[in-house]
A and B are shown apart, each in its own frame.
Chain A
Amino acid sequence: MSSRKKNITKSYIVFMALMFLSMIFPIYGIANRVEPLILGLPFGLFWVVLMEVIAFFALCGFYRYEYGQKGERS
């Protein structure tokens, strides 16, 4: 395994741990309320949606970093 790859794996694991933590207590406690309603959603549900959007962009980032130069690896 190349060192570049190892670094990705490490930062990916950190990212994953943060995602899990953001969805469970105690951190989820910040979002555990109804007001304010955002996009019609109770704040607790909006938080989940927000984290998913963040996860999506973070994953795009990881993917671009690895496969940015096209056709480098398949």
Chain B
Amino acid sequence: MSNWLLALLSMLAYLVFAFVVGLLAGRNRSFWSVSEYAVADRGLGLIVIWFMMGGTVFSAFSFMGGPGMAFSQGAAAFFVPAYVALGILPWYVMGPKVGRIGARKNFFTMGDFLGDRYQSRLLTVIVGVISVLAFIQYLTLQIKGMAYIFNILTDGLIPYWLGALLAYGIVIAYVATSGVRGAAWSDVLQGVLMLTVAWTVGYYLVYTLHGGPSDMFTSINESRPGFLTIGQEGSMMSPMAYSTVLVISGLGFMMWPHLFTKSYTTTEKRIKLTTLAFPIFGLFMVPVLFIGFSAIGVVSPDAVGSPDQILPHLITYVLGANGWVYGLIGAGALAAAMSSSDAITHGASVSLGRDVILPWKPDMTERTQVWIMRLGVIAIGTAAYALAIFGATGIIALLLGAYGAIAQFVPSVYGALIWRRATKSGAIAGLVAGIGVNYYYQIIADSTPLDMNAGFVGLLCNIAVFLVVSLLTSQVPRALADEYKNA
């Protein structure tokens, strides 16, 4: 059987399987409850929550962007395993607090949380709108990843638009029907699959092409001195740029609304156990980088259209002989992209329903809310799909761009939990300043002060404005501030 046919069949088989698991997950659960749809009635088990958090990390970014970054930027890619481990750490103390407040006050989103603490419906809407926009950007990247995989592995037989439609259509269907449980259970399946694939492929490539990791890194170091370090002659990134991108990604990680709201889905003990397992997820990322490093000296940088395509390129042109590897990689990469897409699509639909639409019409029935969220899945899905097919930007720039804006929630969220004096005007002004500065440096300006990451510059301005404005404006009721601080 030819390679592309084998690849196509295994990817289709995988898609059917994922679809069934996703749909079954929502069986026998109340279809019309916001609490069930949004946070699984606050009762997800440990294994599920573990894979759900992990699955969102192992995204198209890690499968396509990670190797691409290693291939084109060398040591700068070490940031990937580092930020995965750092990003979760704050959750150990922050998660249980947020979870307790959420259970007491019946919260489902980050907008609920901030809107109540700062007594501002406007803030809820701002958080909702930013989240939905960032989610759409993030989704666009996953969809592109799925489309690449289908397109390249089937020798161009399945066009971009169709590959994306097949894989993402299934995600939309099971998220709309099964809510967070659909996303969570399919993540368990996808997690197992992609971990197996990442390790097999990473080590396989290193040993076939270079005879082992030591030989590979030694030869890279000889042919390109400085490439495997930061901030030296021949390095691709400066120490300041590396440090600030790591800090902003690490702090921003838990500010992604779909991860933040996982605090509401489970118990304190499980939150802590999930955090505990995460540094191990960081280790899992190392072989993924091997994929990109193994291509150095084997594939010429001009041969791939963009570094993100390095994995499919290697499979097609370097490993061409192994039909079964084809299928396995196809399914694994799809799993990676889908397990992020489902959680993000779900998060976006909840944000849209609760934070963007509900504040305008607070007397909406629960049934209407659930309807809006389920329709939101389709609306957001369509928007991201259209952007993925018709728009074009490099995957990493896109993710880091969205990240910069999301990390701007840091002062308001932590302010809510630790600083009684934090006020509504401070939170809003800081957020607006942070996002404005981030976008200025990311899109308009050519360079940033001291080569710092744009989101990091934004965060510094954000914190300054947040502190000053909070001190100048009147506080929220003392009892409310205490409730958040002492939770």
Chain A positions near chain B (C-beta within 8 angstroms): 1, 9, 12-13, 16, 19-20, 23-26, 28-29, 32-34, 37, 39-42, 44-45, 48-49, 51-53, 55-56, 59-60, 62-63, 66-67, 73-74
Contact = CB atoms under 8 A, between A and B. Distances in A.
A28 B241 CA distance: 13
A28 to B, nearest CB: 7
Given A12-B93, A40-B213, A41-B213, A52 B242 contact: no
Nearest to B486: A1
Contacts of A52: 81, 85, 279-280, 282-283
B273 interface: yes
Contacts of A28: 230, 239, 242-243
- Interface residue SS majority, chain A: helix
B229 A34 contact: yes
A43 to B, nearest CB: 9
Nearest to A47: B78
A55 B269 contact: no
Contacts of B221: 34, 42
B414 to A, nearest CB: 11
B269 A74 contact: yes
Contacts of B218: 37
A56 B280 contact: yes
B108 to A, nearest CB: 22
B242 A24 contact: yes
A19 B229 contact: no
Contacts of B272: 62-63, 66-67
B89 A44 contact: no
A55 B89 contact: yes
Contacts of A32: 75, 229-232, 239
A62 B91 CA distance: 13
Contact of A40 (B82, B217, B229, B280): B217
Given A25-B240, A34-B229, A53-B279, A44 B247 contact: no
Interface of B: 75, 78, 81-82, 85-86, 89-90, 92-93, 212-214, 216-218, 221, 228-232, 239-240, 242-243, 246-247, 250, 267-269, 272-273, 275-276, 279-280, 282-283, 286, 289, 486
Contact of B279 (A9, A44, A55): A55
A57 to B, nearest CB: 9
B283 A49 contact: yes
Contacts of B269: 67, 73-74
Contact of A45 (B231, B250, B286): B286
A59 B86 CA distance: 12
A68 to B, nearest CB: 13
A61 to B, nearest CB: 10
Contacts of B282: 48, 52
A30 to B, nearest CB: 12
Given A24-B243, A24-B246, A44 B229 contact: yes
Contact of A49 (B90, B212, B286): B286
A12 B93 CA distance: 8
A56 B246 contact: no
A44 B85 contact: no
Contacts of B267: 74
Given A24-B246, A25-B240, 15 more contacts: A12-B92, A24-B242, A24-B247, A37-B214, A40-B213, A40-B216, A42-B217, A44-B75, A45-B81, A48-B282, A51-B82, A52-B279, A52-B283, A53-B283, A55-B279
B240 A20 contact: no
A41 B217 CA distance: 7
B246 A19 contact: no
Which of A1, A29, A48, A66 neighbours the largest number of chain B CB atoms within 10 Å of its CB? A48
A52 to B, nearest CB: 4
A45 B119 CA distance: 45
Contacts of A29: 239
B389 to A, nearest CB: 36
A63 B85 contact: no
Which of B239, B240, B267 neighbours the largest number of chain A CB atoms within 10 Å of its CB? B239
Nearest to A35: B221
A16 to B, nearest CB: 5
Given A40-B217, A49-B286, A20 B229 contact: no
B419 to A, nearest CB: 14
A23 B80 CA distance: 12
B53 to A, nearest CB: 14
Contacts of A66: 272
Contact of A63 (B239, B273, B283): B273
